[in-house]
Structure 1
């Protein structure tokens, strides 16, 4: 898997994890909000919400029906009570039931209490449901404060000497103790009497105002009852706060649902912020640290430091002690390997540059030496000839000029060979090739080379191919290669060294090999590796003028320009084999 796929997979996985975390936090928040809404509904309207929850969460065993303890606790908080009736109206189980509540109901009795047809000190709510093949009836009662109080207000109010309606002092205390308020409004809706009225309760009502406050007590914070007197056209209004112990009129009341939504949303945002911060830190650790490590490494490479940065213990940050990739570096393995290769290549190039610089200095020193040596000879003899106090004979002058010409020819050959090496380096092509019979051509070229008196007699042995070998070559270049290899084998080895030149025809194709094998001293590994470098060996022009020190480099370049290859095999004391290979 390449780095593109790995990074794509990693980032998709990161997004998936982030999405799961967001969904989990959102689900937890939504669940909490719904549960809080349910708690608020149970507190405000247990009669309509709680009875169904009680029946759904109940369990039936040998002891009868068992209700949820938390819901029973809510019944107690609402100052209510609960009874479970069988089909005969008999109470099977009860919770927080006052003493003035019956233990058995007749069919008409329960309905009359429930509908208000018969006076009863409690508001009743019924829930009838079949469970496990048995019909259960739940009766929930809550204190009925307003109805009795409204009845007392209507009966106990009187008109004083000024003609104003007033309430008895003991009734006022009872109203105040119940945290209730009382108003008397005329037919136009204006308040004639107000006692213990909160700030949020108006002093004048329209038809819609009174109707809305009676129907939607949750919206206004007060439960309101009213009683209209047809004869006088007056209306008594009495109310109590939905939550005792508070006065919604003193402060701007925020609905409980809004508070729950605000708290839940704030908690969710904080949780998401913390989650994203942690994910960002993890992301930075997971992806940022390796990228920073690679940038530091590349910066080190720019400063010619080609080793991977290490930690305080001297270990590579990307690898374990066993050499395996660390987990967070695995996704960048391809990049890290590429940087390692780049470091190795640059380090190798640096070593090669240093070696090349040393070779260049050696090469310049060799060229300078080989040029200055014959030039010194020429200059010396020129001074001798120009000296007026000497009268040289013709033989001496001829000897001096012969030496000067020989040294000049050597300088010219050296300069020509230098020019040839640079031409080969630029990739020149043979001027015009021709087809030759290599068996005949090589025999002739080797015979001409053997005629050189410096080589000695019968030191070159030619072994032709068994079949005719024809090739398209530029013979002047090939002749120079043959002369260079022959001179190199015979002049730089002992005088009894023999050179065997073989022409070998390949069996499977039209390729061939020209092999030069001598039984001389051979070469060590370093000399063999650097054999084809330009001017690796400088010749001493004081002892011989046959070499320029560039022969092997020129030979390699000429063979490659003609489409061949050159290879060398040698061991110290075991001779040297050089092969010219055409495939």
Structure 2
């Protein structure tokens, strides 16, 4: 973890330093090019550059009687630029002057001419420029504080040496600054990454802990990581619950198998040891028990096989067009013809004449019978079971019932099985469809304990929906939507 942390830090530091160095070098090159261009081309325009004005002033100079004279336009230019002009012959003597100050000398030696040009000999505000017109030299003095002249004397070798030293110093300073800034930036940038890596390590170790969400570019990443942690924690708990259910299921299966096996084994041993002493009535009773327990084991194994195949979608359904109304009506008649339930109160009500669906008749019959049998077996004998069929239309987000069927309309068939029996406690509602669930308010041990789970899986295999509501001591209602 620490090696990864420093690796990320070094990578960001290297990136930042490289960028800063490149930018510094490019900026230096651009600065040198700019200075070179300024030296080669005067940035001031002809209208505002005092030096250009002085050099080109000869265009306003004319000769009269072999003496230089400034025309009217030139005089206006001098006044506009707050300048004066002094003409000299080849001996350094003044031959003409315009707007010159009173203390200006009229004769110059060569040294004085150079001094006049290089330095501000008149006053601190006047800069003197030199020009030539009609074989006469002239001084142009511009009185402007913003204008100045600097004369530099330098040795090329020393200049390049100093420039190299300055560039090296500049590079060292830039690198130091880049390292400091890069370290701070890299530390700030890599700290969330290190926290993120630690979070991933926790997920790998199945420790699902939420991380604090930092502000900035990593905010979405940390939010997604926390959501992932919550999901994985939820899946882990569900898996533990499923593992526990599986263990309980296996334990229940083992227990349910052991009970009939023990009974079969005991009666078989009894018949074997006392075969000559048993009366025909006892022999018939023992063989009946063995047969009943064997049938129970067969039913249990068949139910286990069916529920597993339904859950894993490995059971091919034999679909055929069936009128659900007639189908359930026949089932109700069949139930009432059964001697065990002939005197029970089972009501059938159809609010629709015909409802065609593609179903597996055998499996759907088993599912609906399971729901009806549960209502009859787990309640008192005076319980009333009502079976009702409706058409449900979804219009405007509300369910509406109708007995007028239009074959062109899309509808759902709703099968409701309701009783007024004991009901199911609220704490047991979520477990009703679990394997081997038997409610706490029932004393019946009829069946294998897989009936409700199988019935629910059959409805889901038909792409249907099932809902169960129950109020204790008031009854239970099962709604199937096809």
TM range (shorter): 0.5 to 0.7
CA distance in 1, matches of 2:170, 2:30: 6
What is the aligned partner in structure 2 of residue 288 from structure 1? Answer: 190
Q: CA deviation at 1:544?
A: 6.4
Aligned to 1:517: 418
How does 1:43-192 map onto structure 2 within 5 Å?
Answer: 91=103, 105=105, 107=106, 109-111=107-109, 114=112, 127-128=128-129, 129-131=140-142
Distance in 2 (alpha carbons) for counterparts of 1:431 and 1:89: 120
Matches within 5 A, 1:131-530: 131=142, 255-309=157-211, 316=212, 318=213, 326-327=214-215, 330-388=216-274, 391-428=277-314, 430-455=316-341, 457-507=343-393, 509-530=410-431
Tell me, in whole angstroms, the C-alpha distance in 1 between the residues paired with 2:328 and 2:22.
Answer: 84
Of 458, 463, 466, 1:566 maps to 466
**Is the 1:568–1:576 contact (alpha carbons within 8 Å) kept by the matching residues of 2?**
yes
Scaled by the length of structure 1, what TM-score is found?
0.56
Q: State the shift of 1:421 in Å.
A: 0.9
SS in 2 for 1:536: coil
Shift of 1:492: 2.0
Q: Which blocks of at least 5 consecutive residues in structure 1 are unaligned?
A: 1-10, 39-50, 56-63, 66-84, 92-103, 117-121, 143-216, 220-253, 310-315, 319-325
TM-score where L is the length of structure 2:
0.67
Query: Any unmatched runs of 5+ in structure 2?
Result: 1-11, 40-49, 55-81, 84-96, 120-127, 130-139, 395-409
- CA distance in structure 1 between the aligned counterparts of 2:270 and 2:101, rounded to whole angstroms: 154
Q: Does structure 1 retain, via aligned residues, the 8 Å contact 2:371–2:452?
A: yes
Query: Which whole-Å deviations, capped at 9, do the CAs of 1:142-172 have from their partners, x for residues lacking one?
Result: 9xxxxxxxxxxxxxxxxxxxxxxxxxxxxxx
Q: Which residue in the other structure is 1:245 paired with? A: none
What does residue 436 of structure 2 align with? 535
Structure 2 SS opposite 1:131? strand
Distance of aligned partners of 1:25 and 1:377 in 2 relative to their CA distance in 1, 3 Å threshold:
same
1:265: Cα distance to partner? 0.8
Show the counterpart of 1:6: none
1:374: how far off? 1.5
CA gap of 1:260–1:450, structure 2 versus 1, over 3 A, is farther
CA distance, structure 2, for counterparts of residue 299 and residue 354 of structure 1: 21
In the alignment, the residues of structure 1 paired with residue 266 and residue 337 of structure 2 have an alpha-carbon distance, to the nearest angstrom, of 33
CA–CA distance in structure 1, aligned partners of residues 185 and 161 of structure 2: 35
